[in-house]
Amino acid sequence: VDPSSLKGSAVGFSIGTAVRDSRLSGQYNEVLQRDFNNLTSEFQMKMDVMYPAQDNYNFGPADAIVNYGVNNGIDIHGHALIWHNSTPNWVENFSGTDAEFEAMIEDYITTVLERYKGKVRSWDVVNEAIEDGSNELRNSVFRQRMGDDYIQKCYQFARNADPDVLLFYNDYNMASDSGKRAAMFDIVDTLNALDLIDGIGAQLHISYNGPSRSDIQAVVNGTVSRNLLMHFAELDIRTNPEGDNNVTALSSERAIAQSDKYKELAEIYNAIPLANKFALTVWGLKDNESWLLDFWGVPDFPLLYDANFDTKPAYQGFLEGL
Ligand code: XIL
């Protein structure tokens, strides 16, 4: 245990963050080497980037990230093979039959998993399959073309391609929405009965004031009771969930509230039985580069480091909780 760094403080699990190939050198490299031992590609291992046109793969950025991990002894979490929000146009408008569509998806999953065999430790196979509100399966092109059991098919393709890689299902709002949590566990139970899944990723894009500890614990409990690995997969904590456009800096009260929430998350994670621990991943490094700024279009300070790469109270709270 080395209590001076995040990864040094984490016992029995990894500390991850989201990266892109252009942010692996200089100060990024220093921070990555100090605090992290697991990396997720923020968007360059999604289908629209890796497979932009039929029979035409683009593995350049993904290779750079994977090689960085291999060269530095940092695990790579693959993210994400099938996601309705990163489906290339040619797949949305696929001109062949349904059978040809399914064969194309099998070929894609197989090609990617074989390429990174032994280098990528784990994959999110399907990401965010549950529709907001109804908690039914989203009517994505994958469901339309491959049927209601498309998820099972994709996990089977992945298992066949690499029986040793860990397979995860990843989604959001599983703590704040008990209906969504139940829908997610239904999907997982179907996969688990066929031994097609190894873990659950709870994204945990949350706010300083919620969801509560007990709601987060409910996600953990359901995962542990199913004997699966728990990934806190895309952690960030909004300090301005009210969406106040006049916020120009992080107030000391909000900084402390955020720090307390980061500490709570780390404590919850720490208490998970060792056999179910996997990784706790923060979705980015610096506040000014968080995806949330674009997503919500309002100021926020959701991460562990400020724009100057200085650690925030959030970092200290997180470290204390680990
Ligand atoms: C986001 C990235 O952060 C952005 O850079 C990208 O433009 C869109 O995707 N849920 C997920 C992540 O599973 O892949 C998303 O990442 C954030 C929401």
3-state secondary structure of 245: coil
- What is the rounded distance in angstroms from the CA atom of residue 69 to the CA atom of residue 67? 5
Catalytic residue among 131, 234, 242, 320: 234
Domain boundaries, the chain: 6-321
Query: Is 106 a catalytic site residue?
Result: no
* Atom of ligand 1 lying closest to residue 170 CA: 13
For 12-52, what is the HEC assignment?
CCEEEEEECCCCCCHHHHHHHHHHCCEEEECCCCCHHHHCC
Residue 156: pLDDT above 90?
yes
CA of 2 to the centre of ligand 1 (A): 31
Question: What's residue 167's pLDDT?
Answer: 99
Q: Averaged over 235-258, what is the pLDDT?
A: 98
Question: What's residue 23's pLDDT?
Answer: 98
- What is the rounded distance in angstroms from the CA atom of residue 283 to the CA atom of residue 39? 10
Catalytic residue among 106, 128, 242, 264: 128
CA of 1 to the centre of ligand 1 (A): 32
Is the CB–ligand 1 distance for residue 127 below 6 Å?
Answer: yes
- What is the rounded distance in angstroms from the CA atom of residue 7 to the CA atom of residue 26? 20
Q: What is the ipTM score, two decimals?
A: 0.99
CATH fold, domain 6-321, is TIM Barrel (3.20.20)
The protein residue with its alpha carbon nearest to ligand 1, atom 4, reads 291
* Per-residue confidence band for 231, with pLDDT thresholds at 50, 70 and 90: very high
Question: What's residue 2's pLDDT?
Answer: 83
Dmax (CA) of the chain: 58
Residue 3: pLDDT above 90?
no
Q: What Å distances lie between residue 12 and 8, 166, 261, 296, 305, CA to CA?
A: 10, 16, 22, 35, 24
* Per-residue confidence band for 275, with pLDDT thresholds at 50, 70 and 90: very high
Is the CB–ligand 1 distance for residue 296 below 6 Å?
Answer: no
- The encoded tokens of residue 92 equal 């949305």
Computed over every residue of the chain, the mean pLDDT equals 98
Q: Averaged over 169-193, what is the pLDDT?
A: 98
The protein residue with its alpha carbon nearest to ligand 1, atom 6, reads 43
CA of 299 to the centre of ligand 1 (A): 18
Exposure string for 52-74, b = 16+ CB within 10 A, e = fewer: eeeeeeebebbebbbebbeeeeb
The protein residue with its alpha carbon nearest to ligand 1, atom 2, reads 42
Question: What's residue 279's pLDDT?
Answer: 98
Question: What's residue 133's pLDDT?
Answer: 95
3-state secondary structure of 285: coil
pTM over 0.90: yes
Query: Is 100 a catalytic site residue?
Result: no
* Per-residue confidence band for 293, with pLDDT thresholds at 50, 70 and 90: very high
Q: Averaged over 249-267, what is the pLDDT?
A: 98
Handedness of CA 172, 178, 184, 189 (dihedral sign): positive
CA of 79 to the centre of ligand 1 (A): 10
- What is the rounded distance in angstroms from the CA atom of residue 109 to the CA atom of residue 154? 8
Residue 1: pLDDT above 90?
no
Which residue(s) pair with 39 in the sheet?
17, 76
* Per-residue confidence band for 228, with pLDDT thresholds at 50, 70 and 90: very high
Q: Averaged over 182-187, what is the pLDDT?
A: 98
The predicted-structure confidence for 157-172, as pLDDT tens digits, reads as follows: 999 999 999 999 999 9
User: Which residues are within 8 A (CB) of 237 and not within 5 positions of it... i.e. 6 or more apart?
Assistant: 206, 207, 208, 258, 261, 262, 265, 302, 314
Task: Give me the helices (H) in the chain, please.
Answer: 6-9, 26-35, 47-50, 60-72, 89-92, 98-115, 141-146, 150-161, 178-193, 213-225, 252-270, 291-296, 313-321
Strand 205-207 and strand 229-238: pairing? parallel
Q: What Å distances lie between residue 193 and 155, 198, 227, CA to CA?
A: 12, 11, 12
Q: Name the percent of the chain lying above pLDDT 70.
A: 100
